[in-house]
Amino acid sequence: MKMQYLMKRTLLVLSSVGLIAGIAACTGSKSKKQTEAVKVYAGEDGKKFLHIDDATEMMQGWPTNNSLVVHIIGEPDQLHPANSNHEVRSLINNYTHKYIMRLGLEDCKVKPDLAVDFPKIAANNLEYTYTLRPEARWDDNTPITVDDVIFSYKAYMCPLTNNPQAKPYLKNLLSIEKVAGNPQQFVMKMEREYVQNIEMVVDFPILQASFFDPQAVLKNYTIEQFHNKSFNAEKHADLKAWATLFNDPKYGHDPNFLAGAGPYKVIAWENGQTITLAKKANYWAKGDRIADAAFPDKIIFKLNKDQNSTMLEFKSQVMDASNFLSMKTLLTLQEDSAFNANYNSCFVTNFNYSYIGLNMKPDGIKHKAILTDVKVRRALALLTPVDDIISVIYKNKCKRITSMVSPMKPEYNTDLKPIPLDIEQAKKMLDEAGWKDSNNDGSRDKIINGQRVELKLDLNIMNSVVDWKDMANMIAESYKKAGVIVNINIMDPSAFIDKNKQHDFDMILGSWGGVSGADDFSQLWSSENWASHGSNYVGFGDATTDALIDSCNYHLDPAKRIPFVKAFQKMVYDQQPYIFLNSSTRRLAIHKRWGNVNFYIERPGFALNNFKLLNVETKK
């Protein structure tokens, strides 16, 4: 679903052995040389992206305005810099906000953004000294200061801020201190060595303290207080009032309150239609870094969930770009010679994965205690037609997976074998778990707490992902063969995420975005993130698994860390909280009227702010 939201990064170098960036099946190129270039694989020559040659002429009929129209399939619940983890929100924040550091698309390494350079690291690996760019400015032309940095992290860590999915990533941050004699420097002090002591800053936009906290309330509190579990934020009236205002929906929806330091500003949001970003006049950055550039005058995110309508908008050249096309949509478009003449398009391997989430801790009332039994969860895995889904829906343009770690990473546990489609074995396991069709109505049942419970499960999916409806139907059809009845609930992304956080589901069909670096499994798998209604929707985890997550996080040496990561994958595999499906390809398309185009293996797959309208003559 980026659902995406806050997936962590690291500087761990990718293995070059068998690492496929999978930049393949591009269409729209004319020359033999360019056709051959798409067969390049990352790892063989160090490339993590594919450069697309500019068109040599503007064809008649190509739009000539400098507004980039970008296709999206889901509207974000909000654009609040802290209180959301929607994929489109994260995509837009790339252009409206600045970060201390940022993930470099071109080489999959962390790069400075607001920082002048990489931080100076103390010998103990616990103190990181950053220097802010002196030229960095807010929209009111006041400088971006260390006070803004300190405020931002206090805001993210405040117990009353509505961002439970983010807080676990900051639990290792002890303090942020100014450096005497240099107003642009600060030191981040950490509690422990941690694989993402630097990379954590990639996901947190720096906020203007005077805008979000005009009364300077957070100056009265410390990061140490927010770490202290005995600190009762509710008893502090000023803090409670500040948090109520900070969490106000206007900071997520009203363009007048969507303030950031990036090169673009949200100027309009027409609900259910478009979100428009405009380039800021006299922006402070010179554009030497990719994240500083702003070549299109406007970037317009245009919502279209309908597959047929989307194809028509590309054929009529209404849309300029997309990284949200369904497999079927792009394959169909690539059969159209006019589309290929007007667009470059590609299937690019990425670090995302799709899964079926199983509610291991249902309330027992609205959602019965069915999936609490690991035998039932494994039986459902045996009933899931993963290979058929990959073949029928994705035309084999993706890779089957068995864990949450990307197969492109050296820590992927290759010992975990795909669970085969085995209807008879699934029936046997359900029998052993006590689920039998005692009343011959076509669905299995069992007496639980004195009541007959039918083996009927709701499967929640989002209406924004075209492929998922077809996947859900294939899953339901297969499950029915073993007497498991699946009811498919299709809902908008906001309702889907809300139900997930409240654990109000039996099964969910979703996906998580990933990046090239080492993973911190806290967000999705720690028991704390279930209790706090974070992103551990399914209820996996206990003290043992939490301790193993810590071992993965706090060993910096890959030789020591990777065995822990593989052990954690095995533990998840055995417990079956997810049925892992596939690591899909990102479907990218960009109109040829735009030049300076690269397709990246890192999300989001392209840098919209870097696209340049062609400055060539129009062919008559």
Q: What percentage of the chain has pLDDT greater than the value 90?
A: 70
pLDDT of residue 84: 79
Mean pLDDT of 453-475: 92
Residue 7 predicted with pLDDT over 90:
no
| DSSP structural state of residue 433 | T
Q: What percentage of the chain has pLDDT greater than the value 70?
A: 92
Amino acid in position 364: G
pLDDT of residue 166: 84
Residue ranges of domains in the chain: 98-249, 353-583
What SS3 state is found at 575? helix
Element (H, E) at 587: strand 585-591
CA atoms of 594 and 343, how far apart (whole Å)? 9
pLDDT of residue 27: 66
Which string of DSSP letters, residue by residue, matches 257-273? G---SSSEEEEEEETTT
Nearest by Cα to 319 from 603, 52, 57, 590: 590
30-44, 117-131, 183-197: range with lowest mean pLDDT: 30-44
Confidence tier at 603 by pLDDT (50, 70, 90): confident
Q: Please name the fold of domain 353-583.
A: Dipeptide-binding Protein; domain 3 (3.10.105)
Neighbouring CB atoms inside 10 A of 122's CB total: 13
CA atoms of 402 and 586, how far apart (whole Å)? 19
CA distances for 183 relative to 140, 188, 275, 406, angstroms: 20, 15, 37, 41
Confidence tier at 30 by pLDDT (50, 70, 90): very low
CA atoms of 382 and 542, how far apart (whole Å)? 25
Express each pLDDT in 270-314 by its tens digit: 999 999 999 999 999 987 789 999 999 999 999 998 989 999 999
CA atoms of 45 and 100, how far apart (whole Å)? 30
End-to-end CA gap in the chain: 43
Mean pLDDT of 502-527: 89
pLDDT of residue 3: 36
Residue 136 predicted with pLDDT over 70:
yes
Confidence tier at 6 by pLDDT (50, 70, 90): very low
pLDDT of residue 40: 32
pLDDT of residue 569: 97
pLDDT of residue 43: 32
Express each pLDDT in 172-184 by its tens digit: 999 999 999 999 9
Mean pLDDT of 81-106: 90
Mean pLDDT of 412-440: 96
Residue 504 predicted with pLDDT over 80:
yes
Mean pLDDT of 323-343: 93
When comparing pLDDT for 194 and 332, which is higher?
332
264-273, 303-312, 436-445, 459-468: range with lowest mean pLDDT: 459-468
Express each pLDDT in 233-261 by its tens digit: 999 999 999 999 999 999 999 999 999 99
Mean pLDDT of 191-218: 92
What SS3 state is found at 429? helix
Confidence tier at 37 by pLDDT (50, 70, 90): very low
What φ, ψ does residue 392 adopt, rounded to 5°?
Answer: -75, -45
Cβ distance 283 to 294 under 8 Å?
yes
Express each pLDDT in 157-171 by its tens digit: 999 999 987 888 898
When comparing pLDDT for 76 and 315, which is higher?
315
pLDDT of residue 422: 98
* pTM, two decimal places: 0.80
Express each pLDDT in 515-555 by its tens digit: 777 788 988 999 988 998 888 999 999 999 999 998 988 88
When comparing pLDDT for 337 and 585, which is higher?
337
Cβ distance 369 to 609 under 8 Å?
no
pLDDT of residue 199: 85
Mean pLDDT of 484-509: 94
Express each pLDDT in 54-82 by its tens digit: 999 999 999 999 999 999 998 888 999 99
Q: Which CATH superfamily is domain 98-249 in?
A: Dipeptide-binding Protein; Domain 1 (3.90.76.10)
Mean pLDDT of 179-198: 91
Residue 26 predicted with pLDDT over 70:
no
CA atoms of 576 and 357, how far apart (whole Å)? 9
